[in-house]
Structures are given as C-alpha cells and as structure tokens.
Structure 1
Amino acid sequence: MSAPENDPVRFDGRVALVTGAARGIGAAIAARLAALGATVAAADIVPPEEWEEALPAGDGHTRHHLDITSVRSCRNTVEEAVAAHGRLDHLVNNAGIVSRGPAATMREEDFVRVIDVNLTGTFRMSQAAYPALRAAGAASIVNIGSTNGHIAVLDTLGYCVSKAGVMHMARVLALEWARDNIRVNAVGPTIVPTAMTQDVRANGDYMAEKLASIPLGRMAGPLDVALTVTHLLSPAAAMTTGQTIFVDGGVVMR
C-alpha cells in the first residue's frame, strides 16, 4: 500500500544532508530518509570503497567528501548539495569520533581532536547550512548526541563533553533560528553496535555492566536511532524544537 500524500513523516520533494553517512548510524539515517521519499546528500570523509551501500542507486542521491574540521569543506558540501538538488530542507549532524582513556593521562591533542570533530564540526556544518535551510521555508536539523552527554562515563571525557555540547547547541540554535522556521533537536542514543564501539563491545565485563544499566536490556540498533531522527526531522514533529530525545532503553530516566 502506498503512503498517503499527506503522511506527515514523508519527505517527498525534500532534500536532506547527512554527515558521517558512510556507515553505521549515518548510513541507517540516510537509508531511512531515502525510504521515506527524501533525496539524500550523503557526506563523509571515509574513502568511497569503505562506504556501506545504504542508498538505492538511480534515485538522485549524491555522495560528497566532507572534512568536518574544515569550514571550507563544510561550505563546499552544502553548496554541492544545493547545486545538485536545488534546495536543502534537512540537516543531520552525525559525524563524530571517540577517544578513550583516563582524563589524568589523556593527551591534549586527543581531547581537542574529539571536540573539534564532534562539537565544533557540528557548529561548522550548521552554520554552513543555515542560509539554505532558511531559504527552504520550513527546515529542520537533528544533532546526534549520546547518553554520554547526559551522564558521566569513565575514560571518555572528550566524547562526553562534546556530546553534551551538541545537545545543548540544539537548544540554543532552536531558540535563535525559530524566527527562520528552522527547528533544531537532538537524539541521544545509548551504545550502538557500530565500528565506533567495536573495541568496548569486545570486552565481556564492560558489556555485562553496560547492558545491566539499560532497563530494556539491549543495545540500540542503527535503525532505532534512524526512526527517531526521521520523526524529528519530519512535519510530524512540527511543534517540537530544542529537545533531546534519548534512544537509550531507559538509561537516563534513573
């Protein structure tokens, strides 16, 4: 059965730019947007041969090389997406990295690198996309945060601080850009089985403790995150802005 034309979670005729879209959560978000009718501009720094084949071929979707640490690269990516598709309606700030280790011995460059990619990169991309989103008339942004940005987690200081920042950035941008009819929200997943968590998922003791902290008793899947992201981007969430929705099986409710 085809979706009704007035389905509030459809994206027909709309263009979405997803960063960190080569694999994992970003690839799942890009695929879900495409399934709901969006034209997707998928961006990542990952080499082409390492991308997951998440987007259907022949539907007008595009891939873009993006270095989230470069203002010029962020601007170029937005310009390429608009040139290819004529508009930009939605932005998903998903690109991110993690560096683990005790705060007392963490190298400054490792801390700064995580902040630069996760937090400042989200700022760069949002600022670069702002003119196109404002021109769209009814646009939306979702930042990918984490439960680590809400609760204290050992040996991930830079990641925790950066994710707290992107979730609060959503609130501030939501306030500033409401006048431009741009909604801004965030999604905070618990642990997701992706390449970023491969090291800790190999640690049985860590995983036993982690799963015990999740009331629903399992990790979040990439699709779990993608479903919430697409809802927040869509007209179905037209009165939702400045919020963080945790996809965490209940972690932060306690």
Structure 2
Amino acid sequence: MTDATGRPADPNSFAGRVALVTGGARGIGAAVAQTLAARGAVVALADVLPESEWTVGLGAPHTRHRLDVRSTQSCQAVVDEVVAAHGRLDHLVNGAGIVRRGPAAETTDEDFTTVLDVNLTGTFRMCRAAYAPLAVARGSIVNIGSTNGHVAVRDTVGYCVSKAGVMHLARVLALEWAQAGIRVNAVGPTIVPTDMTADVRADPEYLAEKLATIPLGRMAEATDVADTVAYLLSPAAGMITGQTIFVDGGVTIH
C-alpha cells in the first residue's frame, strides 16, 4: 500500500515481497530470515548445509533451497527456483561465508583461495544471478561484510581480504546497477555469537581482548545485524546505496 504521495504506507514492511537469504540455515542468515519474515516477507532460505543442520524453522509459504555459492550453475538454479516458486525476487542477502584461521605466513593457497571463492566470488555469483529479477522488481541487495574487512585482524588473512572485497563489491555494483533501480549495500558486524566464532569465543584471553576493542563493550547479537539488514533492504533506506553500515559497537570509529 502507498500513501497519497506514492510512498509506501509503512516503509519498514516487506508485505508482498520475496527475499532470498544465502547462508540462511543458521547464525546471522537465520536471524535475517526470521526478521524479514516477521515483517511480512516471503523468505527463500538457501544454504549448502543439509537440512538436518538448519536451526531456522520457517514453514510455508517460505521455501528452502540447497545452494553452493562456489558454483555458478547452483547460484543461477536457486534464483530460478525462487522466481518459479514465488513469482518474483525483490531482495537478496548474501550471508554465505566461511573462515580459516591461522598466521598469514602459514596459510596455504587452498585455504586462502577457498575463503575468497566462497565469501567474495560466491557473493558476486549470487548478485549476478539475481540481477535480472531484481531489475524487474527494482529491488535491493545487502552483503554481509565484517569489521575485519575494514581494520587489520591477525590470523584471518583470507577472511579479512574477502570481507573487504564484499563491502567494496557493494559500492561497485551500486554504481553500475543504479540505472536498473537496484540498491546495493553492506553491513559490517563485529564479533557475533554464532557457530563461526565458537572457537575464539571459547578462549577467555581472546574474548577479553576483543571486547576491549568494542567501545560499547559487548558482542553484536545476530538480531542487531538482522535489524540493520532489514533497514537497508527496505524502502525506508530508499536513498541509500553503495554504503556499509558497521554494526560494531564503535570498533571502526578509532
């Protein structure tokens, strides 16, 4: 619904819209999916994990899809499945990602390139696959970046470089795709209590040092990230494109 000026009556509502969330099985992706569904979206969740490992429980009309972002064919197939199932695609959230930890001097070619292939090239593959239906809908994209892509962090060289790329990819696509009416943004969370960070959160010394870098003194919750993603996708952010919002409690203000 729109008001007398043609603007959405509720710019935070996703009623009538379809959102595809990669990495949607658990963690930040699952929180994003649940937030968008609560605001009225039909959500297509996609992940490489078997369904037995999914933690999100959205039923019909929401759908689940098997996705390997390392494969161009898989990315295109999932987009086609979503459009076939729901008739449109309005929003894409690129949340699929992995991390490999260790000193840069000991990081193998395989570890480095695998992280980049999933996190950065996989995000590009999904954006490219979704371009046509998003252009029809004049839709929006949010990439999940990280503070690691903005500040140097030890022992995660592939992850840091990939997340810097994910956030800059949002800028480049925002520039190129503005003429198609597609907005592209990113979010950059600090540490979030998910499975991906379970190993470092189990180290009291690491966690104390990490929290000391966060002015607000706590980790970001997955819902903090999801609320920011929802804002950037929504008409409420209709004049925002090519930006990264850091959900970091102040880490990047130093």
TM range (shorter): over 0.9
Determine the C-alpha separation between the residues in 2 that align with 1:122 and 1:24.
Answer: 17
By how many angstroms is 1:53 displaced?
A: 2.8
Specify the alignment match of 2:94 in structure 1.
93
Determine the C-alpha separation between the residues in 2 that align with 1:77 and 1:191.
Answer: 29
Specify the alignment match of 1:19 in structure 2.
22
Determine the C-alpha separation between the residues in 2 that align with 1:210 and 1:217.
Answer: 9
CA RMSD of aligned residues (A): 1.0
Determine the C-alpha separation between the residues in 2 that align with 1:50 and 1:167.
Answer: 28
Determine the C-alpha separation between the residues in 1 that align with 2:243 and 2:57.
Answer: 28
By how many angstroms is 1:86 displaced?
A: 0.1
CA contact (8 A) 1:28 1:54 kept: no
Secondary structure of the corresponding residue to residue 105 of structure 2: coil
Gaps of 5+ in 2: none
Secondary structure of the corresponding residue to residue 104 of structure 1: helix
Determine the C-alpha separation between the residues in 2 that align with 1:73 and 1:27.
Answer: 20
Specify the alignment match of 1:10 in structure 2.
13
Determine the C-alpha separation between the residues in 1 that align with 2:135 and 2:81.
Answer: 17
What's the TM-score, normalizing by structure 2? 0.96
Specify the alignment match of 2:71 in structure 1.
70
Gaps of 5+ in 1: none
Specify the alignment match of 1:109 in structure 2.
110
Specify the alignment match of 1:45 in structure 2.
48
Aligned residues: 248
1:1-254 superposed matches below 5 A: 6-55=9-58, 57-58=59-60, 60-136=61-137, 138-254=138-254
By how many angstroms is 1:135 displaced?
A: 1.1
Determine the C-alpha separation between the residues in 1 that align with 2:37 and 2:56.
Answer: 13
Determine the C-alpha separation between the residues in 2 that align with 1:132 and 1:167.
Answer: 22
The residue type paired with residue 225 of structure 1 is V
The residue type paired with residue 115 of structure 1 is L
Fraction of identical pairs, as percent: 70
The residue type paired with residue 128 of structure 2 is Q
The residue type paired with residue 151 of structure 2 is I
